[in-house]
């Protein structure tokens, strides 16, 4: 098997890498962008919108979208290279990622000409930010049992119900919404998909606030919400097929993140931090642990390549996507734990962290900045621990629900 990229692909990589180096604002950089995938405040969100507009103007957004819809019509390999370079540059998750990766491609597949004209340019340019209204309190692992109801009133639907675990709903302008339009048929056959402005009267967003005050999940309530028939995506009562399209795009994009750069920074940190008068890297136990992280990261790399091979052959997604999502998340936690311990050693608190490794898991954010004030960064890392644990628990719950839904959809 040849793991080398073709000359034109390496040219694409260099072009994007050079552009990021020249244009990415340092203040937007994050060591673990997935942990802050939804901005923690409005100002950060707006700065990221400006960044997406800058990228779009330069032709670096929606690169795999067809040219007729504003993309570059690039191939899957270019998309993989884009992901690798964007992650390596420590760039933030784009605020329009939901629209770019899931909603936009679904509209391209199912949308009317008017829906494509209205929504696709706004998604690319971050003029419209989207959220996903699929899960409900009683319809997570069994998505088709959803109860949010849309009643046909001639030229419009009237929607009542609730969605939950809706990431970024407090920033979103639109929601792609699954509703039940026929309760008298088998559950998979009575669902429709609507495109709903979040500013519509009767739509209410209630934050799910973590113990630290931060939130990125929300509940969304619909009370007598009027949705025009023109906002129906796909045929009425065929929303399960539409949602399957969305979830398949999510499966194709899952697990693309690499941890190589984080581990390299962690190893560099281990060479600087001293334990008992010598660098942490010189201690066999620590060196073995970091080496294991590197080995596991390399194993995930080849799992990603297997997933890529399936897609290039035109085959349906296999188990690689689920493996990458689960194993990649766990590897990220282990890297963060190790970072917290090493930063703790920097100010004398490391031995406690060795006993309770998860106490420092959020310190991955400080890998590139520990030299300036290691003690301060370690204290900040510990202060963020509760938030990481809480967010991880809720994200894991939602991931399991969606994974189950995907399995049902593909089955």
- Residue 320 and residue 303: Cα distance in Å, rounded? 6
- Residue 285 and residue 324: Cα distance in Å, rounded? 27
- Residue 53 and residue 276: Cα distance in Å, rounded? 50
* C-alpha torsion angle, residues 16, 127, 228, 402 (rounded to 10): 50
Name which of 4, 97, 42, 394 is nearest 218 in CA terms.
Answer: 394
Helices (H), 69-219: 76-88, 97-98, 104-110, 113-124
Element (H, E) at 165: none
> For 134, which DSSP code?
-
Q: Computed from CA positions of residues 352, 355, 359, 363, in that sequence, does the dihedral angle turn out positive or negative? A: positive
Catalytic residue among 136, 250, 320, 341: 250
Catalytic site includes residue 274: no
- Residue 188 and residue 262: Cα distance in Å, rounded? 43
- E strand residue ranges, 130-259: 130-133, 149-152, 156-163, 174-180, 191-197, 203-207, 218-228
Element (H, E) at 278: strand 278-279
Instruction: Provide CB contacts within 8 A for 401, sequence distance 6+.
Output: 135, 140, 141, 143, 165
Q: Are strands 278-279 and 274-275 parallel, antiparallel or unpaired?
A: antiparallel
- Render 231-272 in DSSP notation, one character per residue: GB-SSTTBHHHHHHHHHHHHHHHTT----HHHHHHHHHHHHH
Name which of 88, 99, 79 is nearest 30 in CA terms.
Answer: 88
Residue positions annotated with a catalytic role: 250
């Amino acid at each position: 098997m040849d793991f080398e990229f073709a000359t034109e692909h390496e040219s694409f990589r260099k072009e994007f890498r050079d552009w990021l180096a020249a244009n990415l604002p340092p203040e937007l950089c994050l060591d673990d962008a997935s942990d802050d995938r939804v901005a923690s405040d409005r100002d950060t969100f707006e700065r990221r919108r400006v960044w997406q507009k800058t990228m779009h103007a330069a032709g670096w957004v929606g690169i795999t979208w067809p040219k007729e819809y504003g993309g570059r019509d690039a191939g899957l390999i270019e998309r993989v290279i884009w992901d690798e370079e964007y992650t390596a540059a420590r760039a933030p998750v784009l605020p329009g990622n939901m629209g770019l990766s899931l909603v936009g491609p679904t509209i391209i597949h199912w949308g009317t000409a008017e829906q494509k004209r209205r929504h696709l340019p706004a998604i690319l340019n971050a003029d419209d930010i989207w959220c996903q209204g699929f899960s409900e309190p009683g319809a997570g692992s069994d998505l088709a049992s959803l109860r949010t109801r849309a009643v046909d009133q001639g030229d419009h639907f009237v929607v009542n119900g609730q969605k939950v675990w809706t990431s970024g709903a407090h920033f979103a302008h639109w929601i792609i919404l699954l509703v039940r339009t026929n309760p008298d048929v088998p559950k998979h056959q009575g669902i429709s998909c609507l495109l709903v402005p979040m500013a519509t009267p009767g739509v209410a967003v209630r934050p799910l606030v973590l113990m630290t005050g931060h939130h990125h999940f929300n509940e969304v309530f619909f009370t007598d919400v009027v949705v025009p028939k023109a906002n129906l995506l796909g045929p009425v009562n065929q929303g399960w097929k539409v949602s399957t399209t969305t979830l398949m795009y999510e499966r194709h994009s899952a697990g693309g993140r690499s941890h190589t750069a984080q581990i390299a920074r962690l190893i560099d940190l281990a060479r600087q931090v001293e334990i008992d008068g010598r660098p942490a890297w010189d201690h066999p136990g620590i060196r073995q642990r970091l080496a294991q992280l590197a080995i596991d990261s390399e194993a995930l790399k080849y799992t990603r390549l297997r997933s890529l091979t399936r897609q290039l052959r035109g085959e349906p997604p296999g188990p690689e996507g689920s493996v990458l999502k689960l194993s990649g998340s766990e590897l990220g936690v282990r890297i963060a734990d190790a970072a917290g311990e090493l930063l703790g050693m920097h100010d004398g608190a490391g031995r406690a962290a060795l006993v309770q490794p998860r106490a420092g898991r959020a310190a991955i954010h400080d890998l590139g900045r520990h030299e300036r004030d290691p003690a301060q960064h370690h204290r900040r890392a510990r202060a963020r621990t509760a938030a990481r644990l809480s967010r991880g628990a809720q994200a894991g719950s939602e991931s399991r629900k969606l994974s189950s839904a995907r399995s049902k959809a593909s089955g």
